[in-house]
Amino acid sequence: MLFPTITFATFFMVVFLANWFLMPYPKRWRWFMLAASYFFYGFWNWRFVGLLVVSSLANQFFAVQLERAKAESSRKGLITAAVAVNLGLLGYFKYYGFFVDSVNSTLDSLGMSGSLPLIQITLPVGISFFTFQALSYVIDIYRRKLAVAPPLDFAVYLAFFPQLVAGPIVRGTELLPQFQGRRDPRRIDASRAFYLIAIGLAKKVVIADFLASNLVDGVFASPGQYGSLEILVAVYAYSVQIYADFSAYSDIAIGIALLLGFRFPDNFNAPYTAVSIQDFWRRWHMTLSRWLRDYLYIPLGGSRGAGLLTQRNLMLTMLLGGLWHGAAWRFVIWGGLHGLWLVWERYREQRRTEPLVITPGVQLRRRLVTFHLVSFAWIFFRASSMSTAWEIIRRLFTEWGGGVDAITVPILLAVAVGIGAQYVTRPAVDRVLAGFSRLAPAAQGGVLAVSLFVIDALANEGVAAFIYFQF
Amino acid sequence: MAASVTPAPSSAKPLAAGHVFVAMVIALLGGALLNAQAMLRTAESQELGTERSVALFFAEPLASVSSALRLDTPREVVDEVLGREFAGRDEDLTLPAATTTTTVEGGSVASTTTTTTLPVLRAVTGAAPLDLWVIGDSFAELFGPALVNRSTDTGLIDAEVDFRFISGLTRPDYFDWPAYITEQLPEVTPDAAVVIFGGNDAQDVIIGGQKAEVGSDEWVALYGVRVGEAMDALLTGTERVYWVGLPIMESASFTANVLIMNGVYEAEAASRTGVTYVPSFDLFKDENGEYNAYLDGKHMRYSDGAHFTWNGGYRLADEVLSVISTEWGLS
């Protein structure tokens, strides 16, 4: 079930009412929300609801055993098993094909036969997200940062539909306590929720889908048909598309959760205003960055060791972060590029003897450099194969005499709006929301109706799935 | 450490759940009324079935109310400004069979015979490459670009793709391919066209008020006319049309429909000069003659059991290019 559809709007109206009517009855609320979330997930494929149930049962089992175990060796064994089971599930569904393909290619290149069997495995939507949430839960219990939740609470947490399929990656420490507390039905932060949902819809159907169907998809499918300038604009356009698409889902998810009385962590904070790659990762997919930092980078040693060890940890974290996004070498390269740039930034930072003076000119230069580095790496992320990525990079520099027909004013406008909107400050938005929140509910509904009209009128026909569903 | 969750803006006034519900109802109802015609178009474009009936159940009265209150005017204006075709309230959106020139008499169709003299194919060179126009539905999504890329590699073919998701030939009320072809040909001026359809065509239709199920004599007759119209439209501006059949599918029922549709393509192609049917059904069978998403160790078909991956697109592109190369003397 996609967010920007009538089907979801109908589903949500029912869930909204039941959510607040059942709030005084915690047990009934939990059962209802679990059923609603499974229904939402089952709309894609009912068979995978079973996977979600298995993941819930297995992780709750490990959580209970971890709490009961006294000996450190037992606890270590249990957490190792829990991590192995979760990564095993993820590995089977997401990486089996990649692994077999890679092994077979290597065997072929060595002139050896005996290919490993390929079987068709359907990737369950959102498996990377709920697996990471489950891992954070058991690891936090192992670290004694979180108490074991009641089984029903944990099942609702893992399946909670607003963030189930594409994040944000909400940790147990953030959401489980909210299930225990009492939410006030008289104090819903509706203005922010409505704003996030409306802006998310606009980003998805007006900006992201428009750029995809009018330039990006064509250029990345057949780069040989386009000149350097067209390719350059397509690369910029994809940077905007993926931001608009993914942050849209997060915005809508956070807005929906707010309407139900829950607060999710922010997931994006104007990433293309970043002045360094490190700054970019503090603004892009923030819940994944935090996850990788707390459950991978720091356990690897973080920045505690010598310089080289820290650089190794950075590289490993980014390489694995790349692989999390997709089972292909181009995602590894994408992560590797970010890792290299982070290492380089850290190296330069350590060699600096005097504090950096950030003048407006320096800030602009750093923003431009960061945006272009990030955009360059997106080429590997978006291209369907390594050869396509290289072809795009080659043509980016060698076909300046080529055509410009694919570049239109609406495309340039969408790119400019997608980047420019990131410079709108949070206080400015808050001032508008404060004014909006003082309107009567009917007037708020009227403003939203006009917003929906504008969004739908400017949108492409049909709704494409969100990019991050595939991860 | 976990980041703090989104803080509420201090100056924003919260709403009670009841008021939020009222605002949401007004927003959805208002938005629906303002976009009622678009919603009706979307509902009508769906396949016959319960989902379409439910969508129409809501969309039709909304569209009537919207029209009576003139709330559809802003959308009409926006669509006109954006150059979109607006399916207005007075337009007949019923399924097309009853209004076409198709004559169904005793289960058979008076088929149209087109006599075309096959033109001599011009010489193709690097300086004057073969212009190829690749059109179709979602099956052209990756097959089309794969064919473009392979064509570019030859140095003798310039190809361009023009496909539409969720389109087909059964439902010209949703997207009228023959009309679109006629409109585009003077601009594109291809030497030849490569066509692949059928992804959305296996749906029941209404002929003269009666439902005709996929595979019935009436349906086959109607589909034949639709395919013929597209072929005839293409032949007015190209020297050759290469009509690509559909491959075997994972679903047995879809495969059965594919066999019916492929039969139609082959028959219609055979009845016209200048149209070549390029089968792909067997090309995607495994060594046991079955559907398999993996062939020769490569992933060919997506998990929907139908659409091509890039590998699948290239496999089919190579097959089609070999036919084209032979006919145009490129190999």
Show residues of chain B in contact with A104, CB under 8 Å: 297
Show residues of chain A in contact with B80, CB under 8 Å: none
A161 and A199 assigned to the same domain: no
CB B24 to CB A286 under 8 A?
A: no
Lowest-pLDDT range, A239-248, B20-29, B150-159, B298-307? B298-307
Residue of chain B whose Cα is closest to the Cα of A438: B13
CB B148 to CB A222 under 8 A?
A: yes
Domain limits for position A420: 190-458
Establish if A30 belongs to a structural domain.
Answer: yes
Q: What is the rounded average pLDDT of the residues A352-360?
A: 81
User: In this structure, which long-range contacts are made by residues B204-208, counting pairs with CB atoms below 8 Å and at least 24 apart in sequence?
Assistant: B204/B47, B204/B48, B205/B48, B205/B95, B205/B97, B205/B170, B205/B171, B206/B48, B206/B94, B206/B95, B206/B97, B206/B98, B207/B95, B207/B97, B207/B98, B207/B104, B208/B97, B208/B98, B208/B104
Give residue for tokens 């013929």. Answer: B228
Residue of chain B whose Cα is closest to the Cα of A383: B310
Q: What is the rounded average pLDDT of the residues A397-418?
A: 88
Domain end among A182, A210, A229: A182
CB A434 to CB B297 under 8 A?
A: no
Show residues of chain B in contact with A441, CB under 8 Å: 15, 19-20, 22-23, 26
Question: How many domains are there within chain A?
Answer: 2
Cβ-nearest to A462 among B4, B78, B165: B165
Establish if A400 belongs to a structural domain.
Answer: yes
CB B14 to CB A437 under 8 A?
A: yes
CB B26 to CB A449 under 8 A?
A: yes
B226: pLDDT confidence band, cut at 50, 70 and 90? very high
- Nearest-CA distance from B29 to chain A in Å? 7
Q: What is the dihedral of CA A111, A115, A121, A127, to 10 degrees?
A: -60
Alpha-carbon distances, residue A82 vs A94, A132, A134, A209, A327 (angstroms) = 18, 12, 9, 39, 22
Structure tokens at B46: 């769906």
Question: What whole-number distance in Å separates Cα of residue A288 and Cα of residue A411?
Answer: 30
A332 and A377 assigned to the same domain: yes
Share of chain B residues as helix, strand and coil, in percent rounded to the nearest 5? 45, 15, 40
A226 and A313 assigned to the same domain: yes
A395 and A327 assigned to the same domain: yes
Cβ-nearest to B149 among A218, A222, A456: A222
Show residues of chain A in contact with B79, CB under 8 Å: 457
pLDDT, tens digit, 9 for 90 and up, residues B11-69: 788 888 999 999 999 999 999 899 888 888 777 777 667 777 788 888 888 889 998 99
Establish if A289 belongs to a structural domain.
Answer: yes
Show residues of chain B in contact with A445, CB under 8 Å: 22-27, 30
A129: pLDDT confidence band, cut at 50, 70 and 90? confident
A223 and A117 assigned to the same domain: no
A176 and A226 assigned to the same domain: no
Lowest-pLDDT range, A37-46, A304-313, B46-55? B46-55
Establish if A464 belongs to a structural domain.
Answer: no
Q: What is the dihedral of CA B41, B44, B47, B52, to 10 degrees?
A: 110
A168 and A194 assigned to the same domain: no
Establish if A88 belongs to a structural domain.
Answer: yes
Alpha-carbon distances, residue B226 vs B116, B172, B182, B202 (angstroms) = 19, 9, 14, 13
A302 and A164 assigned to the same domain: no
Size of interface A-B (CB pairs under 8 A): 184
Structure tokens at A33: 């929300």
Q: What angle do CA A15, A17, A22 make, to 5 degrees?
A: 90
Establish if A463 belongs to a structural domain.
Answer: no
Domain end among A128, A156, A182: A182
The per-residue pLDDT for B90 is 36
The per-residue pLDDT for A412 is 95
pLDDT, tens digit, 9 for 90 and up, residues B264-309: 999 999 999 999 999 999 999 988 899 988 888 788 888 788 999 8
Give residue for tokens 């003798």. Answer: B156
DSSP 8-class letter at A422: G
A178 and A194 assigned to the same domain: no
B25 contacts B188 by C-beta, under 8 angstroms: no
Residue of chain B whose Cα is closest to the Cα of A123: B303
What does the mean pLDDT of chain B come to? Answer: 83
Domains, chain B? 17-81 (no CATH), 103-328 (3.40.50.1110)
Cβ-nearest to A120 among B17, B22, B293: B293
Establish if A222 belongs to a structural domain.
Answer: yes
A134 and A221 assigned to the same domain: no
A418 contacts A240 by C-beta, under 8 angstroms: yes
CB A445 to CB B27 under 8 A?
A: yes
The per-residue pLDDT for A113 is 58
DSSP 8-class letter at B89: T
Establish if A172 belongs to a structural domain.
Answer: yes
Task: Identify which of A34-48, B117-131, B163-177, B185-199 has the greatest average pLDDT.
Answer: B185-199
The ipTM estimated for the assembled molecules is 0.81
The per-residue pLDDT for B51 is 74
Cβ-nearest to A385 among B33, B55, B310: B310
Q: Which spans in A260-385 are helix H?
A: 277-281, 286-292, 298-300, 307-325, 329-351, 360-382
A394 and A433 assigned to the same domain: yes
Residue B310's Cβ-side half-sphere holds a number of Cα atoms within 13 Å equal to: 13
pTM here is 0.78
- Give strand pairing partners of B161: B134
Catalogue the active-site residues of A: 325
Domain end among A155, A182, A209: A182
A144 and A280 assigned to the same domain: no
pLDDT, tens digit, 9 for 90 and up, residues A72-108: 899 999 999 999 999 888 888 777 766 676 676 677 6
